[in-house]
Structure 1
């Protein structure tokens, strides 16, 4: 039985991806109240270990896989850009400590694989030195900066322990069908007992279909409800992705063309869901710019954009309803499920005959 531990677990996307690939999530570490009660409901057999700063990797149950999407607030382009020196993003080093402690306690047997996920801004924060620090923390070796001074969107560090690869993945290109959200995230796969990181992260494989329901609190998938305008007897609204920050900037400049440009085309992906603001979209009737509305995304719509089951965040472990603000914040902080499943299915493939 392959097992997983999830640090900075959030709403349990890595455990969900693992479960879909036949891997058992044993424990998680998270301190936010709403995500904890959501995952307690969705994974009743998964232990919750609490604050990562109070854990000893040598004392918690050893697992084959450790995942962690450490806080991105200080790395994000929308954040304060303090980088790994920031209070939130600096918690990355706590996960590295736990991995080292577990390996020391198990004579370097566990974990076999570690996965790190974070925002694209980690490539450039602190004059691009933060990503170098991340690679060096995993490998415990000095990593030279690229001659170009810019980190590529994919690469590897090979020749030591662990075997390590990274890749920038955009959620809009993953899933069956792909999730309609532009969400670019860095994923690092570190293999401590072989040279399989590249196979896990780069090998083409069939993607899993979207899930249609969300556990005990899940709702059925929304049925197709698009009908031709002639049958409806009137014009039907068309969804346009909406870039709220761009719109506000163009409004301050009194630029009508720029303002209209903040409304994307119907075929464009939605902008990245954010945790610190309410996400919106627009509905227009054809090209009539004066005849449309703006409205907030609902939590269910946010779940769909993340590739998650509808209703995944609706209820807590006692059946209590999770409020809209907490659901949207948790979803904005989450990992797109199709990306996590692609990586987890690669791990399941390479470790299938693990002993």
Structure 2
């Protein structure tokens, strides 16, 4: 069987390469410009070729691969950003990725890549009056795509043409992983098949994922309903952990909305809010009946790695073994994707190809 290969654009900290390697797909090259993420990926994948700035890459001159993944910058699409859409200076880099894919296909007579995977924030469905996602679909298919009759994009869908088979699906990290993750993180994943009609099979087929050891499992932070703090360690007390929604609290305080302010602490069964690259991620903790002795603290980088489903310490050191700063780790993790979601897609690609 021929070895499947992968190239990762906007690579970040190597989550797509990690997911690919779990299913026998070999990461060949990556493109990233941020210093810390590059150093982290180099540590875990020392043999990957780093291509640097995506705007300076010629897709016809780099090693051809079966799969190209790219989570293009989301800052201009996010619901908490300025919402310039695909016209924004960062999110417009999406078109650079498509240029590279097309250049590779021209150079290989349509042989490579076979599959492309695009990942982005849920805000891409609605930015620019819902026209940005239409533009994404049209850029992939090179044809006009009509707006849905409802005027809004569904959380899952398909576009099938003579030269491409394409599906998209909104995946929320809190429902993925073994055990499932305790973070609400909704992301669009789009799979494009250039040489068959397997996108539906890759993105919608139910399959059992392999369980890969990601951590020691000791003292793992979770919601109270799935707390792994042992009964012995707590002295028989019942721990209560509640996600702390800082943005909601600030807006409620500004509006003098008491109910909204109290509700920003969430419930014990709630998942943690989406980890952000430019924010501080807090939670509140107390033992049942001892609320006045409770406290609020920031998630540690290790806890953020766990909430992303990553191996513990994945972002801790660079390729020379030097310590990565906490600020750099928070930013890199907030910009990343949840590993179990990427694993599900890579499992589908390995199975289908």
User: Normalising to structure 2: TM-score of the pair?
Assistant: 0.94
Greater mean alpha carbon deviation, residues 105-114 or residues 264-273: 264-273
Name the structure 1 match of 2:297.
Answer: 295
Contact 1:211 1:309 in 2 (8 A): yes
Q: Which digits, 9 at most, give the CA deviation of each residue in 1:192-246, with x for residues without a partner? A: 0000000000000002324335xxxxxx4425762337x8447454111110011
Name the structure 1 match of 2:56.
Answer: 54
The DSSP-based 3-state class of the residue aligned with 2:191 is strand
Q: Which digits, 9 at most, give the CA deviation of each residue in 1:297-335, with x for residues without a partner? A: 000000000000000000001000000000010000001
The DSSP-based 3-state class of the residue aligned with 2:77 is coil
How far, CA to CA, are the matches of 2:147 and 2:284 in structure 1?
Answer: 43
How far, CA to CA, are the matches of 1:175 and 1:34 in structure 2?
Answer: 26
Q: CA deviation at 1:284?
A: 2.4
Greater mean alpha carbon deviation, residues 245-254 or residues 188-197: 245-254
Structure 2, unaligned runs of 5 or more? 221-227
Which of 63, 72, 75 aligns to 1:70? It is: 72
- Residue 227 in 1 paired to residue 230 in 2? yes
- The 5 A counterparts of 1:248-327 are 248-286=250-288, 289-327=291-329
How far, CA to CA, are the matches of 1:63 and 1:227 in structure 2?
Answer: 46
Contact 1:96 1:138 in 2 (8 A): yes
How far, CA to CA, are the matches of 2:234 and 2:39 in structure 1?
Answer: 43
CA 1:287–1:182: 2 relative to 1, 3 Å: farther
CA 1:268–1:120: 2 relative to 1, 3 Å: same
CA 1:155–1:287: 2 relative to 1, 3 Å: farther
Contact 2:277 2:332 in 1 (8 A): yes
The DSSP-based 3-state class of the residue aligned with 1:14 is helix
Q: CA deviation at 1:159?
A: 2.7
- The 5 A counterparts of 1:98-137 are 98-137=100-139
Contact 1:175 1:210 in 2 (8 A): no
User: Normalising to structure 1: TM-score of the pair?
Assistant: 0.94
Q: CA deviation at 1:289?
A: 4.8
- The 5 A counterparts of 1:1-355 are 1-213=3-215, 220-222=216-218, 226-228=229-231, 232-233=234-235, 235-286=237-288, 289-351=291-353
Figure out how many residues of one structure are paired with residues of the other and give that number: 344
The DSSP-based 3-state class of the residue aligned with 2:285 is strand
Contact 2:219 2:229 in 1 (8 A): no
Contact 1:282 1:295 in 2 (8 A): yes
Contact 1:208 1:338 in 2 (8 A): no
How far, CA to CA, are the matches of 2:296 and 2:129 in structure 1?
Answer: 38
Q: CA deviation at 1:256?
A: 3.4
How far, CA to CA, are the matches of 1:246 and 1:239 in structure 2?
Answer: 18
The DSSP-based 3-state class of the residue aligned with 2:293 is strand
